[in-house]
Structure formats: structure tokens, C-alpha cells
Structure 1
Amino acid sequence: MAAAALAADPSTALRLLREGTLTVHGRLTDASNAALYCTVALDDRTAQAVYKPVAGERPLWDFPDGTLAGREIAAYEVSAATGWALIPPTVLREGPHGPGMVQLWVEPDPDAEPLLALQDPRGAEAGWLPIVRAEVGGGRTALLVHPDDERLRRLAVLDAVLNNADRKGGHLIPAADGRIYGIDHGVTFNTEGKLRTLLWGWAGQPLPAESAEVLAGLAEELDGALGARLAPHLTVAELDATRARVAALRVTGAHPLPSEDWPSIPWPPI
């Protein structure tokens, strides 16, 4: 089963990730914390995965509690609860270097349409939404844009719920099954507003009816089964802040605006 198809079959993927034999093949050198490329095998099925052991995490002053791995698991649980399947199947388990996050590896589709582009600074082309003006050298500027794509819009809503502080372009994976997956959710769920993303194209716009329905479901589940699943990975304050963000989105009925007190674009952006 191809990775994209396996990602769309979470029950099979989660069992493989939890119970399979994990073999480390190397380290992802562009990651700021230990991220190991692996295969996981169970019965007659083998898949690629990324394993991020807790022992390889570097402390972050603004995320003093919990672990990056725990927040990755919490992000997956919220994504699964939306029904949108925006994050590849993810588990917390023992590995060769101790407990850590293990996530199904989804290869980007080389034939997928681009998710970011530089365009004329005077305005975005039809079908694209502006993010920010960027310096491109020689005193010239260009407009950084992303597509007006419902798949990305769902991710923008999820990031607002998660308070994602690091939605880089490289964290968006267009898969062969037509889905767009988000990865790297270790810096999420802060109690302070830290939303940094490249998906600002809908800022201030009304939320689609679909998103309003999903947020209503999340509000209910956060006070029930979803809240119980998140509790081992988040502090009480972080869980309360998540409920508050969902409530605020439902009250405003709109995509959030960039904060004036916090950089709105991650660095590096790609």
C-alpha cells in the first residue's frame, strides 16, 4: 500500500506505527531537533516513517512544559477529530532511542501544483491570495502568494485552533492522493497567541459553513473524549486555551488576523 493510501487508512496506519518494528536508517539533517528517517514493518506491510525521540528535543523557553512529541500527538488528535485528515497518522511509542513521536512518512507529489509563488507586487493573480511582500534582491519586491485552495483553507483553520507557531512552506506536503498534509507540529498549543503561518490569504474573511460545523464539533469533543485524549500531552492551561481559541473562532466567525505583538510569518518561511 502506497504511503498516501496508507495515510488515508488511519486504522491500518496507526496499528502499523504502534506495533511495527522500527528501524532507523538515518537522520534528517535539516531538522532543528532529532528527526530520524525509519521504516516500520508489521506482518507483510512496511512503510516509511519519521521518528522524533523525546531525548533529542532541545528545550524551548516559550514551551517549558510537556514535550514536542506530545504536542505532535495532540495536534494529530485534533486533526483526526475534525474529520479532515490533515496530519499523517501519528503515535507516541518506544523506539530505539526511547519514547518519541512516530509519524507516517508521506512523500510530496513531484507533479503537484505549487503551493507558494512569487508574483507581481501590485496584486495577486486570479486564484491566488497574498501573504506578504518579499524582497527579492536588487531593491525589487514581489508578492508571496498561495492558492485559494479549500485544502489549504482547512489547514489555516486547524492552525488557528492549534495556535501553530511554525507553518512553513516546507511543512505543507501535497500528496499523490490529492490531499495536502501538514507536518511538524511541535510548537503548538501555547497559551499565548503565537500563530505564525504562510496561510494568511483568508485573514479576516468569514469562515466557510463547513468550518463552523467542524468547530462546533470540536467544542463539544474538547469537553469530552478529545479533551481526555489530549490531557496526557498538554497542561490544563494549554487545554483551556485550546477551548478558548475554538470558542473565539466561533464567536467571530472569521479567520484570525495576524497579531501586532508577534511575528506573523515563520522564519525561514520555506
Structure 2
Amino acid sequence: MADQTSAVLAHGDLTIVGRIPHASNVTLVATVDAGAGERLRCVYKPVRGEVPLWDFPDGTLAGRETASYAICADLGWDTVPHTVLRDDGPMGPGMVQRWIDIADPADHPVEPDLVDLCAPDAVPAGYRTVLTGFDGRGEEVVLVHADDPRLQRMAVLDVLLNNADRKGGHILPGLDGVVYGIDHGICLHAHDKLRTVLWGWAGTPIPGALVADLDAFAARLADTDGRLAAALSDLITAEETGALLRRARNLVDDPVFPEPPASRAIPWPPF
């Protein structure tokens, strides 16, 4: 099924149907022809619509998004939606990613989000505290996230990807029960840039099953003639691939969630 979805995204007729207006780069809603009269909704981010970043001078956002999916898929994790890089989009080369349907918040108005802000005395049961601050009215608030194994796996992936922008709004609880992470355009830098709202497990052991996946991933990535290294070579630099391998090995050798740095630990805004 995964290969079939990727094939449809890569080769189906791509039609733009709208634009997501508040995205910092051109982000388009589109459909791809899946055959037999069916269409698959997707997100299309053309390279020509990317805003250059001084601290990510190499490659493209689209390339890093596609590399992030390739890494996640190789691990056997479903955290990142199917993503491909196409040369023939209506606005030229760009990333195409499967659209994720989520529940309407109006259907669950009293449930906390997976990442949320609340008063210090109202932290939901089963949530981990990230930090305490003040809102625009000067009221004390707490940034929290669910103690959920799907989020925990995402947090491990973010360390591996060196994700510089894991905001709460980039975490989507799919109708299929999977918690998805999106917007991986500023990942995979060779230097440490991890910024995330998922610090709640800092200093705790990474589950053994995830460490085993990382160990096997590192072995495959170390094979410079292998499929994974070949796929990434078209998407990120050799220096970035080398840093990715070092991060994977470090997580295996020291399987503990890292502590946040003293500054710039959380993206702004966090949602």
C-alpha cells in the first residue's frame, strides 16, 4: 500500500485546487489522479515558492522534506506522511505529500490537544510539562504534551532528523489513529539545531524497540553503496548524511532523550 501511494503521488496527474494562505512558503492543496475515477488529496510545495534561509543554504526545503520521509519510512515508522519529489508539477519541481485528514476540534471541544497550553493547576492527567511562562495578559501558563507513545516516537525522530521546527501545529492526529508530523523543511542540518515542543521526556530512556530500529537504520545508512544512501544523496549533502549517521549512532550508544539547550530550545511561535 505504501509503494502504491508513493507511486500515485509521483506519477498521477497533479491538479492544484487551492492555497494554504498562512504558510511561510507557497503551500498548495492539490489532487492526484489515482485511477478508476479516484483522486488522492495532497500538499504540493513548489521549490520556486520557497523563501531562502541563510542558515540552510544547501539544497531545498522540498528535498529535506522528502529525505525526512525516506528516513522515517526506512525506520519502518509511519510518522511522516508519504512524500515524493516531483519534477513535473504545475509550478515546476516540488514536494508532494499525502494529505492527512484530522478530526474537527468542534466534535471534541473539551479534549486537550496533543500539545497544549493550560493553567498550572489544570495540567491534564497523562501530560508532561515542557515549560512555564506567561500569556499575553500576564497569566501564568504551562506548555504541555501528551505522554503518548506515538508522540514519543516522533520525539526520537526529531532528534535523529535534527528538526529545527517541531511546533505543536506540525503534529496532526489522523483519523486513522496515527499521529503524523509534517513540515520537515528545516531538518537534517549538519550542526545541532534541534528545536521542538516535545521536551517532556528529556533525560529519560528511549524505549528499546525504538533503539533497535535506530541501530538497524544506522547499519543500512553506513552502507555507502546501499539503497538508503543512494536515495539521500539526491536530497541532502554528504556532510548532512554523515551527521545523520552520527546522530543515529549516538542515540544507539546513549539511548536517552537529550536535555534542551539553555536557549533556542523551542521554536517560536510554538504553535
TM-score by length of 1: 0.92
5+ long unaligned stretches in structure 2: none
The CA distance in 2 between the partners of 1:186 and 1:37, in whole Å, is 17
Once the two structures are superposed, residues 118-162 of structure 1 have per-residue CA deviations (whole angstroms, 9 ceiling, x without a partner) of 334368443110111131244321111101000000000000000
The CA distance in 2 between the partners of 1:95 and 1:39, in whole Å, is 11
Give the alignment of 1:1-270 within 5 angstroms: 9-44=1-36, 45-93=38-86, 94-110=88-104, 114-121=113-120, 124-224=123-223, 225-260=227-262, 262-270=263-271
Q: How many residues are matched?
A: 261
Report the 3-state secondary structure (helix = DSSP H, G, I; strand = E; otherwise coil) of the residue aligned with 1:95: coil
C-alpha RMSD of matched pairs (Å) = 1.5
- Cα distance change of structure 1 residues 137 and 66 upon mapping to structure 2, 3 Å threshold: closer
Contact 2:34 2:40 in 1 (8 A): no
Contact 1:123 1:130 in 2 (8 A): no
- Name whichever of 245-254 and 158-167 sits farther off: 245-254
- The residue type paired with residue 47 of structure 2 is V
CA drift at 1:199: 0.6
Report the 3-state secondary structure (helix = DSSP H, G, I; strand = E; otherwise coil) of the residue aligned with 1:139: coil
Report the 3-state secondary structure (helix = DSSP H, G, I; strand = E; otherwise coil) of the residue aligned with 1:131: strand
The CA distance in 2 between the partners of 1:62 and 1:148, in whole Å, is 32
Contact 1:52 1:100 in 2 (8 A): yes
- Cα distance change of structure 1 residues 53 and 129 upon mapping to structure 2, 3 Å threshold: same
- Name whichever of 108-117 and 70-79 sits farther off: 108-117
Once the two structures are superposed, residues 17-68 of structure 1 have per-residue CA deviations (whole angstroms, 9 ceiling, x without a partner) of 0111100112211111111110111312211111111111111000000111
Report the 3-state secondary structure (helix = DSSP H, G, I; strand = E; otherwise coil) of the residue aligned with 1:98: coil
The CA distance in 2 between the partners of 1:123 and 1:216, in whole Å, is 39
Report the 3-state secondary structure (helix = DSSP H, G, I; strand = E; otherwise coil) of the residue aligned with 2:93: strand
Contact 1:197 1:266 in 2 (8 A): yes
- The residue type paired with residue 238 of structure 1 is E
Contact 1:19 1:42 in 2 (8 A): no
The CA distance in 1 between the partners of 2:260 and 2:96, in whole Å, is 32
The CA distance in 2 between the partners of 1:50 and 1:191, in whole Å, is 27
Contact 2:16 2:28 in 1 (8 A): yes
Contact 1:172 1:183 in 2 (8 A): yes
TM-score by length of 2: 0.92
The equivalent residue for 1:5 is: none
Runs ≥4 residues deviating over 6 A:
none
The CA distance in 2 between the partners of 1:138 and 1:268, in whole Å, is 17
The CA distance in 1 between the partners of 2:169 and 2:72, in whole Å, is 19
CA drift at 1:247: 1.3
